[in-house]
Structure 1
Amino acid sequence: MDEVSVTKLTFSHGPGVAPSLVDISLNLPTGSRTILIGANGAGKSTLLQILAGKRLITANGADVRIKGKDVFREYPHGVTFLGTEWYDYISSSPKNASLRASASRAMNPVVRGDIVVSQFLDSVGGYRYKERRDRLLDILDVDLDWHMHAISDGERRRVQLVMGLMQAFDVLLLDEVTVDLDVLVRDDLLKFLKEDSESRGATIIYATHIYDGLNDFPTHIAHMRLGAFVTQPTPWSSSHATAVATFGARTLYDVALQWLKDDRDFRRNLEKSGRKARGARIDVVPSDSETFYKKYDYAH
């Protein structure tokens, strides 16, 4: 049985809105580590949020399962989702109802308030996972005496990762969560996650735009464009010869770069056929805002 299985998934964020995901199907084996590659807006985050049970699907025929269980009706234990917002993780933990309510507020007082990191981790059950928590504290170079309101975004992100990873997972869904980390901490974290996956058979799906240092991490890579898979999750080898034979490029970075260039060319061809174009607008008639602000521009 595949650890993650999706069949005929189409999803729209609202009635009358164009689908963000179109006829998605995938099957990932236990212990796999899949990198999702695609431009901004390709649907990577939406797919991960659906796998995490955070968005309800209503389309007929869609089936989304993790560990053989429907993610909306019998959500399986052992699934961790980590995204750029703190409440992404907190809301997935039913034991943290009061913390969830606070962290969902706009100003997010829990993670930006004057609370010491050691107390914060204890408040979310860190004492229950002491051995793994302490290893992550060392890997992520976290000071237990930091005050949450007085540290940088990167340091706060490290605390989030300790919180999210200190309980062992069976399936880990990562959405751009390493974006604030310096290169050394990120490298140490990826080594830990790879070792964790190999030793326990844990499955990881990771959406990122940072490909440096990832060449040896994935077992599979996949390419998403405009809500669909261009390339289904395909086995990846860090061997240059194998990578060239399979994907036409030597490294994961080169593969991602080529795929993203293809995405841009594809979109621009659609724009020539009538799709709304991006970039500068060359209008003969100035916009209302341009006309207004020119009238009161005293810079010259």
Structure 2
Amino acid sequence: MASAGSADSSPEINVVNLTFSHNSADSRVEPSLVDINISLPKGSRTILVGANGAGKSTLLQILAGKRLISKEGTLVLIKGKDVFRQYPEGVTFLGTEWAMNPVVRGDIVVEDFLNSVGGYRHKDRRDKLLDILDVDLDWHMHKISDGERRRVQLVMGLMADWDVLLLDEVTVDLDVLVRDDLLKFLKRDSEERGATILYATHIFDGLNEFPTHVAHMRLGSFVTLPTSWPFEDFSVAGPNTQLYGVALQWLREDRDFRRELEKKGRKVRGARKDDVPVDSETFYKKYDYSH
């Protein structure tokens, strides 16, 4: 069983000795990423599996050059270039925050919006994506649903040829048919052009044939490095042949692992076990006239 990049001397994505904290000035804050070392070959399609808060989005944002790393000895390279000092061409990052931008929620027609970001330069791919994602060029951005707005984002982000695609949960708003058509397009694009995809998602239905590699993150670290899919070694995730089953098992293990940490002093999630009312409960109970 080979890890991604184990036989590749010049990986498309290469991360060495990456530790990152959103508040590096406060030593009490646990790092979001701890000692990340990964190597992904050109043309690979890697699925990142992990619970909320595992560090998947942070890793993708760093690879996209959206968060600065200053620690000496850390390397974050795409296509052999430092993503902070000489960001390479041909890298596309698509995340969920785009749909919340007030600019893309304004009264602008989709056709005009796509042309404003260069859609006319990529007509063939743009038109193919418009059909795949079932987008109406006459839609007004402020009148459409979140799912429809997400489709427009995907047309915009994918219509230019990309070499490396970083996807952070952007298929969550899509209906199952559109999502399936999109994944088939991305897989074909990757195979035909040798393009590389790193994709964080919580939706695993219909993904079994998509990845070349699968990885598991937990609390900012890799439990399972990007590993060739389907797994040949049952020790990685038991006798699971479906990605959904693998993800479910890993997420259960993550929850059990976190609960063991809670027994040792980590902040506990869920309902409080004591019967002593908290201050907010005492305050609001005093003014509760519903009985």
**Of residues 9, 32, 35 in structure 1, which corresponds to 2:18?**
9
Q: Which residue of 2 aligns with 1:69?
A: 81
What is the alpha-carbon root mean square deviation over aligned residues? 1.3
Deviation at 1:71, TM superposition (A): 0.6
SS state at 2:112 partner: helix
SS state at 1:221 partner: strand
**Of residues 263, 287, 290 in structure 2, which corresponds to 1:296?**
287
2:276 is equivalent to residue 276 of structure 1:
no
Q: Which residue of 2 aligns with 1:83?
A: 95
Return closer, same or farther for 1:243/1:168 CA change in 2, 3 Å cut-off: farther
Return closer, same or farther for 1:166/1:243 CA change in 2, 3 Å cut-off: farther
- CA distance in 1: counterparts of 2:284 and 2:213, whole angstroms: 51
Instruction: Tell which deviates more after alignment, 129-138 or 56-65.
Output: 56-65
SS state at 1:247 partner: coil
Give unmatched runs, 5+ long, in structure 1. 88-106
TM-score (structure 2 length as normaliser): 0.93
Instruction: Tell which deviates more after alignment, 23-32 or 279-288.
Output: 279-288
2:230 is equivalent to residue 237 of structure 1:
yes
Q: Which residue of 1 aligns with 2:53?
A: 41
Q: Which residue of 1 aligns with 2:39?
A: 27
Residues 183-212 of structure 1, C-alpha deviations (whole Å, 9 max, x = no match): 000000000000000000000000000000
Deviation at 1:244, TM superposition (A): 5.0
- CA distance in 1: counterparts of 2:101 and 2:65, whole angstroms: 22
Deviation at 1:233, TM superposition (A): 0.3
Contact 1:236 1:243 in 2 (8 A): no
Contact 1:10 1:22 in 2 (8 A): yes
Matched ranges for 1:47-58 at <5 A: 47-58=59-70
Deviation at 1:122, TM superposition (A): 0.5
Matched ranges for 1:100-111 at <5 A: 108-111=101-104
Q: Which residue of 2 aligns with 1:217?
A: 210
Deviation at 1:247, TM superposition (A): 3.1
- CA distance in 1: counterparts of 2:256 and 2:230, whole angstroms: 27
Contact 1:33 1:205 in 2 (8 A): yes
TM-score (structure 1 length as normaliser): 0.90
Deviation at 1:245, TM superposition (A): 7.3
Q: What letter corresponds to residue 40 of structure 1 in structure 2?
A: N
- CA distance in 1: counterparts of 2:252 and 2:288, whole angstroms: 39
Q: What letter corresponds to residue 8 of structure 1 in structure 2?
A: N
- CA distance in 2: counterparts of 1:174 and 1:138, whole angstroms: 21
Higher share in helix? 1
Instruction: Tell which deviates more after alignment, 192-201 or 10-19.
Output: 10-19
Residues 152-175 of structure 1, C-alpha deviations (whole Å, 9 max, x = no match): 110010000000000110000000
- CA distance in 2: counterparts of 1:260 and 1:25, whole angstroms: 21
SS state at 1:122 partner: helix
Give unmatched runs, 5+ long, in structure 2. 1-9
Matched ranges for 1:142-291 at <5 A: 142-237=135-230, 242=232, 247-248=237-238, 249-291=240-282
Return closer, same or farther for 1:125/1:243 CA change in 2, 3 Å cut-off: farther
- CA distance in 2: counterparts of 1:299 and 1:135, whole angstroms: 58
Number of residue pairs the alignment of both structures matches:
278
Return closer, same or farther for 1:135/1:18 CA change in 2, 3 Å cut-off: same
Deviation at 1:33, TM superposition (A): 0.2
Contact 2:237 2:250 in 1 (8 A): no
2:117 is equivalent to residue 124 of structure 1:
yes
Contact 2:230 2:241 in 1 (8 A): no
SS state at 1:229 partner: strand
Residues 68-117 of structure 1, C-alpha deviations (whole Å, 9 max, x = no match): 00111111000000000118xxxxxxxxxxxxxxxxxxx73321111110
